[in-house]
Chain A
């Protein structure tokens, strides 16, 4: 059969995955703490049909051979941990990390997951939880009758109770960082899990030793840029169309030979 058929098929598959990534980015254009993804492609191996320098006759050599590529392959998707814009919300429990680092979240199964989404709430027991109700790690318990909560840039949480003037320290919010955040596994809910590619988490105090500082009353917007995604979508669509043209042309050629001979 015509090789171009299979080559065109690999192109179609790759553009399909690219479009799925783009659409997921666009769908999360206003998700707090979302990090955009890009599909990474690689050319498949080449097959040597004719070696350069082969003898074309007893005394002559071919100056160049024929190497045919076999298409494209999606290596994977890569998260882009570029900082998103900070959106001031003035809510005391909204926090953003300005710089490197992740909040630690205790999952219901006891594992720790990581997030850049700092939309915290207080549950019925006074614990700081994410929008899904998962506990922040280390746990911060807010006493009843609390009037104001202040989170310092270094993660120290203090509260002033009604009728008091002296703030009480409630605890510290630690952040962790990874050598290769792009290697983290996204599990949805704005959460990430550690993998062999990301490396082990290194915990630290916010705003010290290279960790980002915590900004209270702000949220980190998604780092998706709509224009970039739209341009990507256009080029993906056209690339897809051209690859489908390859498949239909190859098909026409095979059809032509069967109908004419």
Chain B
């Protein structure tokens, strides 16, 4: 059979992979701090002892979309969104520092500050632990000040500050747990004091649902074209078979 059928097959297969990536974005259209993944196709020519007449399709994820998601007002004193550039430092499942824009923070019974999925939030010197407080405020510069239980309104104490880093986005990648880490160089980034946060807001997902859905539909049609190609290749080999038949 003609090799065209295999080229059409890789096209169809990679369209499906790309669609999975878009559907993952759509599934996370309402996940706080989620960053959409790009999917692109690349032509890979087949090199061999002949001239490269064929090119296979290859879907890949070049990067994630680092644009900001919408800020959603919650009025919750611990909810924090980053205004502009920057990432919160948190600890991943292995206790290593990783980065995320997710800002739906809460406090455990021991006073540790964690995000919505339970990852500890890192401050100036390791995970943030808040003493018992009556009121907590997160300032624009990420400084956490509390009014200790029983203290007067004039006794706000700064206890820690959120570690906010400003990574080089060219060198920043989403891992398999959905957290961001630098690709090369030191794994732990320094805090950047110039970045600012707003409290009482969380950052929503940055998924552009219209674009995702449109891509999904256009991939669907592309896929159907590939199937048609496979069918055509099949038809061609069928007719050549007929020519060779001795009637």
Contacts and interface: CB of A to CB of B under 8 A. Distances in A.
Q: Is the interface of B mostly helix, strand, loop or mixed?
A: mixed
Interface in A225-259: 228, 235-236, 238-239, 242-243, 245-246, 249-250, 252-253, 256-257
Interface size class of B (residues with CB under 8 A): 35 or more
Contacts of B23: 3-4, 7-8, 11, 71, 243, 246, 250
B16 A260 contact: no
A260 B231 contact: yes
Nearest to A223: B75
B26 A242 contact: yes
Contacts of B212: 242
A11 B174 contact: no
Q: Is the interface of A mostly helix, strand, loop or mixed?
A: mixed
Interface size class of A (residues with CB under 8 A): 35 or more
Contacts of B231: 260-261
A67 B16 contact: no
Given A57-B47, A179-B111, A249-B19, A75 B177 contact: no
A239 B26 contact: yes
Interface in A7-59: 7-8, 10-11, 14-15, 18, 38, 40-50, 56-57
B217 A78 contact: no
A42 B209 contact: no
Contacts of A100: 134
Interface string B25-43: 1111111101001000000
Interface string B172-194: 00111110000000000000000
B149 to A, nearest CB: 4
Interface string A75-116: 100101010000000000000000110000000000000000
B116 interface: yes
A42 B47 contact: no
A164 interface: no
A43 B151 CA distance: 40
Given A40-B117, A242-B212, A249-B217, A56 B27 contact: no
B206 to A, nearest CB: 12
Contact of B209 (A69, A99, A199, A242): A242
Contacts of A68: 17, 20-21, 24, 61
B12 to A, nearest CB: 8
22 contacts: A3-B20, A3-B23, A7-B23, A11-B26, A11-B27, A40-B32, A41-B30, A43-B28, A43-B178, A64-B63, A66-B17, A67-B176, A68-B21, A69-B25, A70-B24, A71-B24, A202-B132, A210-B147, A210-B150, A242-B213, A246-B26, A253-B224
